[in-house]
Structures are given as structure tokens and as C-alpha cells.
Amino acid sequence: MKITIRRAEGGLSVYIPKKDLETRVIATDPAHAFGGRIECVGGLTLYIEPMKEAPALPLTVEARKL
């Protein structure tokens, strides 16, 4: 699924256009890289391919639901 990652108050948020849902990111694994496992408010867990450098945001990427 396609998601858009944006900067939000106090961190990051994820927007899923297909569901018209925007939720706050509460944890990432690994914490030192951009990408990997992303845990959101409400129990939603997503996986995006890790990136070596933090990209400019907002960013639309392909994600998998875990």
C-alpha cells in the first residue's frame, strides 16, 4: 500500500490515502535509521524498506502491513 510520511507535532505521522487515515508514529525499529518497522497509534504496524539517509519529507513510499 502507498503511504505518505510527514513531519507532525512531536514526531512523524503516516497518512494512508486508501483508508483516508492519518495516524502518529510512536516507534520505529531500528531507531537509528529511516524505515524498517513503524508502529503507529492504534496498533497499526507497517514495514518500509530502510534508507541509509533520512529523506526530505513529506515522502510517499510503498509499505507492507505487519
As given in the structure block, the three cell numbers for residue 54 are 533520512
Q: Do 60 and 54 contact (CB within 8 A), yes or no? A: no
What domains appear along the chain, each with residue ranges and CATH number? 2-65 (2.40.50.240)
- At 30 the pLDDT is 86
Burial class, 46, CB count within 10 angstroms (exposed 0-12 / middle 13-18 / buried 19+): buried
User: Where do the H-state alpha helices sit in the chain?
Assistant: none
> What pLDDT sits at residue 63?
96
- Chain mean position to CA 11: 11
- Convert the pLDDT of each residue in 7-66 to its tens digit: 988 889 999 999 999 999 999 888 777 889 999 999 999 999 998 888 899 999 999 999
Q: What is the pLDDT of residue 12?
A: 92
